[in-house]
Structure 1
Amino acid sequence: MNKQTVLITGANKGIGLETARQLAKAGYHIFLGSRDKDNGDRAVEQLKTEGFNDVELLLIDVTSESSVQQAHDDLIKRVDKLDVLINNAGIPGAFPQTPSNADDETLHNVFEVNFFGPIRTVRIFIDLLKKAENPRIVNVTSDLGSLTLHNDPNWEHYHFKSAAYGPSKTALNAYTVALAAELKDSFKVNAVNPGYTNTEFNHNQGPKPVEDGAAPIVAYAMLDKDGPTGKYISDYGETPW
């Protein structure tokens, strides 16, 4: 396969699906990651009806070691390398998430998807990524993971604090820094914030169109060899850690 290949986790809807659409339009071969086959099949069919034929479903549940390993084993039967991994799968968790009394179940569920999921996926797929000429990893984060912004009373989301979701993205940001440093000689690894986007994830409350939310993710998925690594990025530029 001569086309650039990309795996997007949690891509059957929302920002993940729009990211798949934009990268397909840019000529990438898409492996649309979904933990549910029916939902994944519908998403693939939707893109194909729009004229994007280089799209395949890859079943993957990032909370399950065996599922991620099976997805890897399925993928190596189809390609000999993976150019881009976009760790998009994420959950907000049950609300409210009051820091003083958040329950263990919510904390564990959110961190399992948002933090351990990307780490697990990188660990299992890194062999395929290393075979690419210019491998890129995009960890989809949030400005709610910024400790600097959370301490700024003038920030528009200053009053929104969470025990699970925000901290899971802070942890993901920290992992991104460590991973980028380890792989600095050959990989581009960045944390990208789509912003408050209108999707089911936030009950369609976000003011930003999904096309705009996906745009910075797509841009960092398409970095060339001279692109930045180890950055925390939003559509307005670098986000403070």
Structure 2
Amino acid sequence: MSHPARRLPAATPVYRVALVSGANRGLGFEVARQLSERGMTVLLGARDLDKGLHAARQLAGAPGEVIAVQLDVTRQDQVDTLARWIEITYGRLDVLVNNAGGHYDPRANPANADLAPARDAMDTHLFGTWRLCSAMLPLMRRHGYGRIVNVSSGCGATATGGAGCPAYRVSKAALNSYTRALAAELDGSGILVNAVCPGWVATDMGGPGGRPVAAGAAGIVWAACMPEHVTGGFYRDGQRIAW
């Protein structure tokens, strides 16, 4: 007597929650859009919640839900409040894209630069990333899965030279160093940490003449969705570049 083939239950789709800082415009907005197109629930971080809500409305109808959240990465209270809210609402965070940034000033030079913007750049690029990672890592550790993408720049690579944009350059170099240290600590945990340079992108900060925003965002999304165990790297368009 023949037996009918046993039908295996369909695999349960993996539910992913992503947080993107500085996402109400430019590169961060496009990263949020592309992640939502992959079906992720995307928390669109914005310092100005009204601007975040406006941005989220523009992404209504995407396969993944997009929710605006207030987030100034330089404020520990907002970071902690958001981490508690994510824990209560979702119980997990799978993807963290540290995109918030600024302080790109080609006219400044390191010999006589005002230290105020340099401090602000460090507080956003380095310490803002550090704050978010420290607050969100418990939500990744409990499931043994996470993808942390630190949006950096070739401008911050010590392998390249240049005097312009000292606040931006030095803070991104510090971010790169933090990326490598955190990746080493989390190696083997299921949480991958990588830095991505999106290239010169035509945004409000980058100015006209750069590559399309979608192209710069694609490399970030690639790292955010990386299936294999690759951590502690510096990438542009999915290819390793020198630190």
Which of 228, 231, 240 is 2:230 aligned to?
228
Which of 186, 200, 204 is 2:204 aligned to?
200
Please report the TM-score for the alignment, with normalisation by the length of structure 2: 0.90
Please report the TM-score for the alignment, with normalisation by the length of structure 1: 0.91
> Aligned residues, how many?
230
- The one-letter code sitting in structure 2 at the alignment partner of 1:194 is P
Q: 2:187 maps to which residue?
A: 184
Query: Are residues 77 and 2 of structure 1, via their aligned partners in 2, closer, same or farther at CA, if it must alter by over 3 Å?
Result: farther
Task: Tell me the SS of whatever aligns to 2:199.
Answer: coil
Q: CA deviation at 1:140?
A: 0.3
- The one-letter code sitting in structure 2 at the alignment partner of 1:59 is Q
For residues 83-122 of structure 1, the C-alpha deviation after alignment (integer angstroms, 9 at most, x for no partner) is: 1111010112555221001112111111111111000111
Structure 2 residue runs of 5 or longer lacking an equivalent are: 1-12
Q: Is the 8 A contact 2:37 2:62 kept in 1?
A: no
Which of 148, 156, 179 is 1:137 aligned to?
148
> 2: distance between equivalents of 1:206 and 1:160?
21
Q: 2:3 maps to which residue?
A: none
Q: Percent identity?
A: 37
Q: Is the 8 A contact 2:235 2:241 kept in 1?
A: yes
Structure 1 residue runs of 5 or longer lacking an equivalent are: 151-158
> 1: distance between equivalents of 2:160 and 2:57?
40
Q: 1:147 maps to which residue?
A: 158
> 2: distance between equivalents of 1:232 and 1:198?
21
Kindly report the root-mean-square deviation, in angstroms, between the aligned alpha carbons of the 2 structures: 1.6
For residues 139-195 of structure 1, the C-alpha deviation after alignment (integer angstroms, 9 at most, x for no partner) is: 000010111122xxxxxxxx5622200111000000000000000011110000101
1:1-241 matched pairs, under 5 angstroms: 3-48=15-60, 50-52=61-63, 54-94=65-105, 96-150=107-161, 159=162, 161-186=164-189, 187-202=191-206, 204-224=207-227, 226-235=228-237, 237-241=239-243
Q: Which has the larger radius of gyration?
A: 2
> 2: distance between equivalents of 1:51 and 1:236?
25
